[in-house]
A = this chain, B = another copy of it.
Amino acid sequence: MSDTEIDPLRLDRMLCFAIYAAGHAFNRFYKPRLDALGLTYPQYLVLLVLWEQDGLSIKMLGERLILDSGTITPLVKRMETRGLMRRERDHEDERVVRVYLTEEGRALRQRALSIPLEVAGATDFDLDAIDQLRMALEQLREKLDAGPDDIAGPGER
């Protein structure tokens, strides 16, 4: 145990904790803004997806947000109760449930437009720095999700 050895379990040096804590900080930052819209953060994410493409199935929503049906199903049901969307079985395939925004759900988009600007203002990171950070995190996420030793490697095949 020399002085030059770095403790591998120091909280302050852990990337996972930095991500965990930054996620909470984002939540705290968003909360008052989303409260004004009557939304939680995951509900906001669902709307972001549906504003891009309405009528997605529960499964497609889950793939987009990387959440499973145990999370998405009650989440969407709460949003339906609040009148933001409507769930409807696909007549082509009765297994799939499609989610359609109501007028109220679509209307919220205008009120949400200011939020990214507030984030940019609060962090005052320049756009390049944000982009770089985001891409590093996406790369990290892919590697973590790739599993042990990248079963079907990207190189050869």
CB <8 Å contact, A9 and B116: yes
Q: Which of A10, A24, A144 counts the most chain B CB atoms within 10 A?
A: A144
A9 to B20, CA, bound (A): 23
Residue of B nearest to A64 (CB): B11
Main secondary structure of the interface of A (DSSP, over half): helix
A: contact size bracket: 35 or more
A8 contacts partner chain B, Cβ-Cβ < 8 Å:
yes
Residue of B nearest to A7 (CB): B52
A1 contacts partner chain B, Cβ-Cβ < 8 Å:
no
User: For A124, what are the chain B residues with a Cβ–Cβ distance below 8 Å?
Assistant: 143
CB <8 Å contact, B136 and A129: yes
A37 contacts partner chain B, Cβ-Cβ < 8 Å:
no
Given contact pairs A24-B67, A29-B145, A122-B146, enumerate 5 new A-B contacts (beta carbons under 8 Å).
Answer: A9-B112, A10-B52, A18-B133, A19-B22, A20-B26
Show 20 residue pairs from A and B whose CB-CB distance is below 8 angstroms, ordered by the A residue: A8-B117, A9-B51, A9-B109, A10-B48, A11-B49, A13-B134, A15-B134, A15-B137, A16-B30, A18-B138, A18-B141, A19-B23, A20-B45, A21-B138, A21-B141, A22-B144, A25-B141, A122-B143, A122-B146, A125-B140
